[in-house]
């Protein structure tokens, strides 16, 4: 592990200590978990992963309109001009 130093407000430190005690954990462990959550939710994904995720979504949703390939501009105009 890498040792690092952070600064918390007094309120943050108090609440973190209470949460850590209630979970039988340390403040450091709570902070590591919070950092993991931020990393996992980060939008910094590479192009290949973005493409893979996009392709997984293809065909999963339907509009009920069978002419979207021909009238897509009309449908977009209707949607965004509301």
User: Residue 24 domain-assigned?
Assistant: yes
Domain around 13: 9-42
User: Residue 36 domain-assigned?
Assistant: yes
Whether the Cβ atoms of residue 40 and residue 49 lie closer than 8 Å to each other:
no
Tens of pLDDT along the chain (82 residues) come to 999 999 999 999 999 999 999 999 999 999 999 999 998 887 777 888 888 988 999 888 888 888 888 998 998 898 898 6
pTM of structure? 0.53
The tokens describing 23, both together, are 């979970």
Question: Which burial class, exposed, middle or buried, applies to 16 when counting CB atoms under 10 A from its CB (0-12, 13-18, 19+)?
Answer: middle
Closest CA to 29 of 40, 38, 17: 17
**Considering its fold, how many domains does the chain have in total?**
1
User: Residue 49 domain-assigned?
Assistant: no
User: Residue 78 domain-assigned?
Assistant: no
Q: Output phi, psi for 74, to 5 deg.
A: -65, -45
């Amino acid at each position: 592990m890498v040792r690092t130093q952070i600064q918390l407000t007094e309120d943050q430190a108090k609440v973190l200590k209470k949460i850590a005690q209630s979970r039988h954990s340390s403040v450091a462990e709570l902070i590591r978990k919070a950092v993991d959550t931020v990393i996992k939710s980060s939008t910094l994904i590479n192009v290949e992963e973005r493409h893979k995720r996009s392709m997984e979504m293809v065909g999963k949703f339907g509009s009920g309109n069978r002419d979207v390939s021909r009238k897509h501009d009309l449908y977009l105009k209707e949607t965004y001009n509301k």
